[in-house]
Structure 1
C-alpha cells in the first residue's frame, strides 16, 4: 500500500523466521560417522560420499545422469537419541534454483520421530535459500527420552557435508535396523525423483519408506530415466534387492525406444537376479489430458506396450514380473494433484503411495515368505508386511 512501510513477513511472524542457529553449545557429529546409519546410498561404504550411483561406475553413464546421481533424494539418516534438541548443519553442492519447487523440497532436511510404521513428522529445516550452507533447528525443548529419528535429505540438491547437533550430555545410539534385510529399488523419472514435493518426506518413495520395514533406494533421475542398459547393469549390482520398480516411461525419447528398452532392461537385471519381483508402472495421467486427446492416445499406447511385455515375460515363465496401470495412481480425479500439470503435489504423492501400498505389500510378502520357508521351513503370518 502507498505510504505504508512493508515489513518482512518472515520477521512479522516468528513461525516463519528462517535459520534457527544454535544459541548454546552442541555436540556436532558428521552423519557419515557411527552410530548414524545412512540409507538409500548403495555405494556409500565404498565411495564415502552422498551419491546414489558409484563414483567410478562399471558402465559409462550420460553426463546428465552422472550429475543427478549427486542429488540426495531418498537418502535418510537414521539414529536414536535422548537429546531434547536436534539441529542440522548442511553444506549443499549449490543454491536453491527451481521456480516450481519449494526450497524446502529441493534443499531442505525434514525430521520424523518414531519407529517404522509409527513415524510422526515434526519439522523441516529453515534456511536462507540464497546460501549454500545453513544451520537449522529441527526440534528443541522436548523431554529427555530416547527417540528414534529419521532425517530425509534434500530431493534435488547434492549434500557435501551434513552434521547433526545434539545436547552435549545426550546419547546417540544406532538405528535398531530393518526387520527385513531387503531393499526396494525405484528407477524412474522426475516423479520418482520427487518433483515437486514441498519437503523431502513427501516424495512418494519416502512416504512408502514409512510404511514398510525395508530400505528404499530412490533411483529417480529427473528427465533422464531412459531405460538405458548401462543403468540396468548398475542397478543389478545393488545387493539384497527385494523389489525393483520400473517407472521410466515418461522419459523415453520415443514410443519405439520404450518398446526396445523394457525387455532389454529386464533381461539384464534377470541375469543377476532371476527371482526378484519386478513391478512395471505406466505413466500417471496428466492434467492436460482433459483437453488433449492425442496425449491420452500416446499414454494408452505406451501402457499397452508395457502391459504386453509383462504378459510376454510371464507367458515365458517369469511370474515375478508384474504390471500396474499408472492411470490409477492419482485416483479418479487427478486434476488438482500436481503443481504444474505434470509433477505431483504433496496430495498427489500421498495418493500414489496409498495406491501402491497394497500392491507392494503383496509382492514383498511373497519374497519374505519364500525366504522364511527356505531358511527354517516355517511361515508365520506375523512376518507379513502390513498393507
Structure 2
C-alpha cells in the first residue's frame, strides 16, 4: 500500500471561500472577510457565514485514496428531531462519485424558545474515499453546506496540484437560508449549486441562513469580489425578521445595489424576489417557531405580524417594489434584470411540493428550483451565452 502524503490546505486548493482563517487546528473557510465580520455581526450570521455552502476542495491528482481530517461543528435544537451529520460530496471530473460524513466534532445546542446557546468542544474526525480511478483526474470535495467545518489535513496516495483555471464564468450569489441550502440533500445539490453545474459556472454562494438583510458589509463584500455574473435574492428575511418598514426598504435596496455597482458597473446583475411562501404572502413578520408543533417533535414556523398595517413588509409588497426598483434602474443600467421568485417555486408547486416547515424547500424543490433557474438565467436568459 502506497503511504499517504499530507498536502497543506491553502487557498489555491479551495473554491467558493472568501477568506481562510488559520486556527489552532487548521484552517476555517469564511464566506465573509474579517473586516465584515468585525462590523457587529450577530451570533446567527457568525455561525451562518462559517457554514461552507458552495465551498469545495478542488485538486488534480492520480490518487486512488483521499483522506480529509476535519473538525465539524454540529447543531442541536432543543425539542427538535436530531439533525443528521453534514454530508460531503465527492465529484470526479464533475460527476458524483461518493458521499461521506464526519462524526463527532463540536456541538452547539440552541434553545429556540429562550435563545440560549451552549457549546461543547469535540474531536477531529476523518473522511475517507478509496478505490478512485488510477488516472489523472479533477477531484472536488464539497464541504457540508450546513455544518461549520475546520479543515485539518488532506492526505492522498499520489501528489496533488491545484486544478488549472477552467475559464468558466464566476457567478456570485447572495440570498437567505434557501440560497444557503436549508433542507437540501447535500452541498452540491442546493439550488444554486445545481444551477451553477447546469449553467457551467463557478459558484460563490453568499447565501446566509436568516441573514439576507441588506447588510452594507455584505454589499461591500460583493463589490470587492471578482465575478462575471451576480445575483441577489431579496425579501424573505426582511419579512420574517420584521427588521424594516416600507419607507426604509426602497432606499436600502438601491443602496445595496449601488454598492455592488461601485465594483461591478457593467456585470450582469439579477435581482430575484422571494419564492412563494404562503405564511408571509400577505402577513408580515416576525416569524416564530410554532411551539405546539415543536413539542410534538416537528419544526414549523408561523407568521405573527399585523396584516392590516400597510407600512410593514410582506412578500407581495416586496415583489411589487423590487420590480419597480429594477425598472427605474434599468433606464440607465441595461445590465440589471429582475426575476420573480415565483417562477422558481410558485402556486402550482405548493400542492405537489409543500414547504415542510412552512418556510424552507425540501431536497426535491431545491432540484426543481436549480433546474428552473438554470433555464431562466443561463439558458438564453440574463446569463445566457456568458457561461462557458
- Normalised to the residue count of structure 1, the TM-score between the two structures is 0.76
Is 1:286 matched up with 2:274?
Answer: no
Deviates more, 1:247-256 or 1:274-283: 247-256
Cα deviation code 1:308-341 (max 9, x no counterpart): 11111112x1111111111121263234253422
- In the TM superposition, residue 100 of structure 1 has moved relative to its aligned partner by 6.6
Maintained 8 Å contact 1:110/1:201: yes
Does structure 2 conserve the Cα–Cα contact (< 8 Å) formed by 1:81 and 1:172? Answer: yes
Q: Which residue of 355, 360, 364 maps to 2:383?
A: 364
Gaps of 5+ in 1: 1-22, 369-383
Q: Distance in 2 between matches of 1:103 and 1:32?
A: 28
* Post-superposition offset of 1:89: 1.5
CA distance in 2, matches of 1:318, 1:283: 23
Distance in 1 (alpha carbons) for counterparts of 2:66 and 2:231: 34
**Match status 1:320 vs 2:335:** yes
> Number of aligned pairs?
331
Q: Whole-Å Cα distance in 2 between the matches of residues 161 and 81 of structure 1? A: 19
- Report what 1:250 is aligned to: 236
Q: Name the Cα RMSD after superposition.
A: 3.0
In structure 2, runs of 5+ residues without a counterpart are 108-121, 285-302, 308-313
What SS does the aligned partner of 1:184 have?
strand
Distance 1:88 1:42 in 2: 21
Query: For the Cα contact (< 8 Å) 1:178–1:214, is it kept in 2?
Result: no
Q: Pick closer, same or farther for the CA change 1:235–1:132 going to 2, 3 Å.
A: farther
> 1:184 aligns to what?
171
Structure 1 CA distance, aligned partners of 2:355 and 2:62? 39
Q: Does 1:27 align with 2:36?
A: no
Q: Is the 8 A contact 1:102 1:198 kept in 2?
A: no
Q: 1:90 deviation in Å?
A: 0.9
Residues 81 and 206 of structure 1, relative CA distance in 2, 3 Å threshold: same
Would you say the 8 A contact 1:183–1:243 is kept in 2? yes
Structure 1 runs (4+) deviating above 6 angstroms are 45-48
Aligned to 2:147: 157
Assess if the C-alpha contact under 8 Å between 2:173 and 2:231 holds in 1: yes
Contact 2:19 2:29 in 1 (8 A): no
- Report whether the alignment pairs 1:97 with 2:76: yes
Q: What is the distance in 1 between the residues matched to 2:350 and 2:69?
A: 38
Q: In the alignment, is the contact (CA less than 8 A) between 1:178 and 1:213 conserved in 2?
A: no
Q: Is contact 1:243–1:364 with CA below 8 Å preserved after alignment? A: yes
Query: How big is each residue's C-alpha offset from its partner over 1:230-263, in whole Å with a ceiling of 9 and x where there is no partner?
Result: 3212220112x11221113111123514323111
SS at match of 1:352: helix
Q: Distance in 1 between matches of 2:36 and 2:152?
A: 24
- Tell me which of 305, 308, 312 is aligned to 2:321: 305
SS at match of 1:201: helix
**2:225 — aligned with what?**
238
**Distance of 1:251 and 1:88 partners within structure 2:** 35
Equivalent residue for 1:125, pick from 101, 123, 126: 101
Higher helix share: 1
SS, match of residue 219 in structure 1: strand
Deviation readout 1:24-48 (Å, 9 max, x if unpaired): 9533334327xx6201123349997
Match of 1:346 among 351, 363, 385: 363
Aligned equivalent of 2:90, options 111, 123, 129: 111
8 Å CA contact retained: 2:232, 2:272:
yes
Give 1:264's match in structure 2, choosing from 230, 255, 275.
255
How far off its partner does 1:56 sit? Answer: 2.9
Q: Would the aligned equivalents of 1:59 and 1:233 in 2 still touch at CA under 8 Å?
A: no
Which residue of 157, 160, 174 corresponds with 1:172? 160
Residue 365 of structure 1 deviates from its aligned partner by 4.2
SS class of match (2:32): coil
Q: Structure 1 residues 360, 293: CA separation in 2 closer, same or farther (over 3 Å shift)? A: closer
2:354 and 2:100 map into 1 onto residues whose CA distance is 22
Structure number with the higher strand fraction is: 2
Q: Are 1:80 and 2:60 counterparts?
A: yes
The answer to whether 1:204 aligns with 2:191 is yes
- Classify the secondary structure of the residue corresponding to 1:150: strand
Please tell me whether residue 194 in structure 1 is matched to residue 174 in structure 2: no
Displacement of 1:132: 4.7
The answer to whether the 8 Å contact 1:124/1:199 transfers is: no
